[in-house]
Amino acid sequence: MRRHRESIYRLIRGHIGDPEEAIHLTQDCFSAAFQHLGSYDGSRPLRAWLTSVAINSRYQQEPRLDAPQAGAANPDIRISAAV
Protein backbone atom coordinates (compact mmCIF):
# COMPACT_ATOMS: atom_id res chain seq x y z
CA MET A 1 0.00 0.00 0.00
CA ARG A 2 2.95 2.35 0.53
CA ARG A 3 3.57 2.65 -3.19
CA HIS A 4 0.01 3.95 -3.69
CA ARG A 5 0.08 6.56 -0.92
CA GLU A 6 1.16 9.47 -3.14
CA SER A 7 -1.34 8.75 -5.92
CA ILE A 8 -4.19 8.41 -3.41
CA TYR A 9 -3.14 11.69 -1.77
CA ARG A 10 -3.11 13.46 -5.15
CA LEU A 11 -6.54 12.04 -5.99
CA ILE A 12 -8.05 13.27 -2.73
CA ARG A 13 -6.29 16.63 -2.94
CA GLY A 14 -7.67 17.06 -6.44
CA HIS A 15 -11.17 16.48 -5.12
CA ILE A 16 -11.00 18.80 -2.13
CA GLY A 17 -8.15 21.23 -2.90
CA ASP A 18 -6.96 21.55 0.71
CA PRO A 19 -3.52 19.92 1.17
CA GLU A 20 -3.82 19.59 4.96
CA GLU A 21 -7.27 18.03 4.80
CA ALA A 22 -6.07 15.74 2.01
CA ILE A 23 -3.38 14.37 4.33
CA HIS A 24 -6.00 13.52 6.94
CA LEU A 25 -8.37 11.97 4.41
CA THR A 26 -5.53 9.94 2.91
CA GLN A 27 -4.82 8.53 6.35
CA ASP A 28 -8.53 7.80 6.80
CA CYS A 29 -8.55 6.04 3.43
CA PHE A 30 -5.72 3.70 4.37
CA SER A 31 -7.24 3.07 7.77
CA ALA A 32 -10.55 2.11 6.12
CA ALA A 33 -8.71 -0.02 3.56
CA PHE A 34 -6.93 -1.90 6.33
CA GLN A 35 -10.20 -2.45 8.19
CA HIS A 36 -11.90 -3.78 5.04
CA LEU A 37 -8.97 -5.66 3.57
CA GLY A 38 -11.08 -8.83 3.60
CA SER A 39 -13.33 -7.35 0.92
CA TYR A 40 -10.42 -6.81 -1.48
CA ASP A 41 -10.49 -9.15 -4.49
CA GLY A 42 -6.85 -10.11 -5.01
CA SER A 43 -7.45 -10.85 -8.68
CA ARG A 44 -8.08 -7.13 -9.31
CA PRO A 45 -5.62 -4.23 -9.12
CA LEU A 46 -5.02 -2.90 -5.62
CA ARG A 47 -4.83 0.68 -6.89
CA ALA A 48 -8.36 0.53 -8.32
CA TRP A 49 -9.72 -0.75 -5.01
CA LEU A 50 -7.82 1.88 -3.03
CA THR A 51 -9.15 4.57 -5.36
CA SER A 52 -12.74 3.53 -4.63
CA VAL A 53 -11.98 3.41 -0.89
CA ALA A 54 -10.46 6.91 -1.13
CA ILE A 55 -13.46 8.37 -2.92
CA ASN A 56 -15.89 6.72 -0.50
CA SER A 57 -13.84 7.95 2.47
CA ARG A 58 -13.86 11.47 1.08
CA TYR A 59 -17.64 11.52 0.69
CA GLN A 60 -18.19 10.02 4.12
CA GLN A 61 -16.08 12.77 5.66
CA GLU A 62 -17.71 15.59 3.70
CA PRO A 63 -21.25 14.62 2.71
CA ARG A 64 -22.16 18.25 2.08
CA LEU A 65 -20.01 18.07 -1.06
CA ASP A 66 -21.86 15.07 -2.51
CA ALA A 67 -24.30 17.13 -4.53
CA PRO A 68 -23.76 20.65 -5.87
CA GLN A 69 -26.08 23.28 -4.51
CA ALA A 70 -28.39 25.11 -6.91
CA GLY A 71 -26.82 28.38 -8.01
CA ALA A 72 -23.47 27.47 -6.43
CA ALA A 73 -21.53 28.26 -9.60
CA ASN A 74 -23.04 31.73 -9.79
CA PRO A 75 -24.49 33.18 -6.59
CA ASP A 76 -26.41 35.79 -8.59
CA ILE A 77 -28.63 33.12 -10.17
CA ARG A 78 -32.01 32.98 -8.50
CA ILE A 79 -34.24 29.95 -8.80
CA SER A 80 -37.91 30.80 -9.02
CA ALA A 81 -41.03 28.75 -9.57
CA ALA A 82 -42.51 28.78 -13.05
CA VAL A 83 -45.80 30.65 -13.27
pLDDT tens digits along 7-16: 999 998 998 8
> What is the reported pLDDT for 9?
92
pTM of the model: 0.65
More confident call, 40 vs 70: 40
More confident call, 67 vs 2: 2
pLDDT tens digits along 41-66: 999 999 999 999 888 877 776 654 44
Nearest to 26 by CA among 5, 48, 52: 5
Cβ burial, residue 51 (10 Å; 0-12/13-18/19+):
middle
